[in-house]
Amino acid sequence: MTRLIAGGTVGLLVVVGLSLAVAKGLLSSGGRGEAPGSPAMERPLPATLSRARAPDGPGTGMAAMEEAGRANKYLFAYFWRTDNEQTAAMRKVFEDAVKRVSDRAQSVVIRVDDPAERGIVEKFGLDRAPLPLVLAIAPNGAVMGGFPQKFSEAQLLDAFGTPCTEKSLKALQDGKLVFLCVQNGSTRASQEALKGVSEFKADKRYADATEVVILDPTDSAEAPFLADLKIDPKTLAAVTAFLVPPGAVIAEFKGATDKDELVAVLQRANTGCGPGGCGPGGCAPKQ
């Protein structure tokens, strides 16, 4: 499973304003303490997804997202427009990949100029996206990978993330700040580590724009995420990582946290904020 792209040199694929994780390179552990920068024929679909819909309906794509979410499965969505050799070749790669993970993922194929599919095309800003394109979407709606034009089966299969990765990416893609709190009943200063975070989230300026994700370092399922963030799963003390959109770790704390320090860290990062970064609508409010 490919970890976050080394050094954060490759982080985001921007498709008409939407930041997508490329090979799960959305979060950059290399940026600690710094401001964020950086087919010829359609395959038959399940009966529940293949019924004809009027252009004003939800469309196959949106229905597929809802169904996959209810089933607690990933959705691999293949977007195309022109029927040519490249489209056919990448369609074959896509189909081979999804067959291998049919137990934990569903799939759908969408022609972006189909009027019935404008809901999902507009949701992800795909009108002018490089095609063909595959999006790997977690059950909670987080985009775990965006793979344009040419991709491999291995890249698609690597798009699965851990539960805490999914929660964190969903919050970041919603424009929220994320505190990843790595702790359990055995780590030192767990309550002290939560104190500053809880006070930060209780502040009305940040409450709606802040997500707190608790990660147990002994949970083996989360080992890949900890490795991405270079956090020792054997840590004896609670660790708190402060993440901001579109995907950077701006600070990491071991042990206790302090609200005033968290606010100061965010405000320092604001100097590098762009539109949509560090909270909904742009940089977080200043004191």
Which residue segment(s) compose the domain that 114 sits in?
Answer: 39-157
Q: How far is the C-alpha of 102 from the C-alpha of 91, rounded, in Å? A: 16
| Alpha-carbon torsion (60, 63, 68, 69), positive or negative | positive
Cα distances (angstroms) measured from residue 225 to each of 25, 29, 115, 127, 212: 11, 11, 38, 32, 16
Domains contained in the chain, number: 2
The answer to whether position 3 is within a domain reads: no
Contact 22, 147 (CB under 8 A): yes
Distance CA(51)–CA(55), nearest Å, equals: 13
Q: Which of 93, 125, 105 is nearest to 19 (CA)?
A: 125
The enclosing domain of 199 has a CATH number of 3.40.30.10
Do 53 and 144 share a domain, yes or no?
Answer: yes
Domain end point (choices 119, 141, 157): 157
> What is the Cα–Cα distance from 109 to 42, expressed in whole angstroms?
7
Residue 49's region, left for phi above 0, alpha for psi from -120 to 50, else beta, is: alpha
Give the Cβ contact number of residue 84 at 10 Å: 12
Of 141, 157, 173, which residue is a domain's last?
157
Which residue, 243, 241, 223, is CA-closest to 233? 223
The verdict on 131 and 227 lying in the same domain is: no
E strand intervals along 96-191: 105-111, 133-137, 143-148, 177-182
Answer whether residue 85 is part of any domain. yes
Burial status of residue 52 (CB atoms within 10 A of its CB: 0-12, 13-18, 19 or more): exposed
Q: Are residues 120 and 43 in the same domain?
A: yes
- In a structure prediction context, what are the per-residue pLDDT tens digits for the chain, which is 287 residues long? 333 322 222 223 333 333 344 334 445 544 454 333 333 223 333 333 333 344 556 799 999 999 999 999 999 999 999 999 999 999 999 999 999 999 999 999 999 999 999 999 999 999 899 999 999 999 999 999 999 999 999 999 999 999 999 999 999 999 999 999 999 999 999 999 999 999 999 999 999 999 999 999 999 999 999 999 999 999 999 999 999 998 899 999 999 999 999 999 999 998 655 444 454 444 554 44
Tell me the residue length of the chain.
287
Do 44 and 97 belong together in one domain? yes
